[in-house]
Amino acid sequence: MFDILKKTLKTGTVTVNYPKKPDIAPAGFRGRPEILSDKCTYCGECASVCPPGVIWLEEGMSEKTLTLSYCGCIFCGRCEEVCPEGSIRLTQDYELASKTKDALLTSTSRKL
């Protein structure tokens, strides 16, 4: 018993104070994808390769909209790989807990 206590005191704290002090994800971590709307050409390449189909392009009479849902995203990075404009990239953000599915949608639109 005394040995265990001694070892515990010697080791100290090895956990982080999450969520007060979130840990920073390492370089190369594949987290929340983000769309850089100013560069997007609405070509739909990312949507066509997304394995779970959580990116979709809608073309209305007056505008195009690209939507990405973090529900079901498997963080594979295919969207980032195929985007010819470099307008979609995976970030190091891993905090995606939400009370609603709608809060896990992101989209960008362009008028035609």
* Binding residues for ligand SF4 (CB under 6 A): 33, 35, 40-46, 50-52, 54-55, 66, 68, 73-79, 83, 85, 87-88
Residue 31 Cβ vs ligand SF4, minimum distance, rounded to whole Å? 10
* Complete DSSP assignment for 29-54: ----EEE-TTT-----HHHHH-TT--
Nearer to ligand SF4, 21 or 88 (CB): 88
Q: What is the distance of C-alpha 72 from the center of its chain?
A: 11
Nearer to ligand SF4, 16 or 91 (CB): 91
Nearer to ligand SF4, 22 or 53 (CB): 53
Partners of 69 in beta bridges: 105
The two tokens of residue 19 are 């969520």
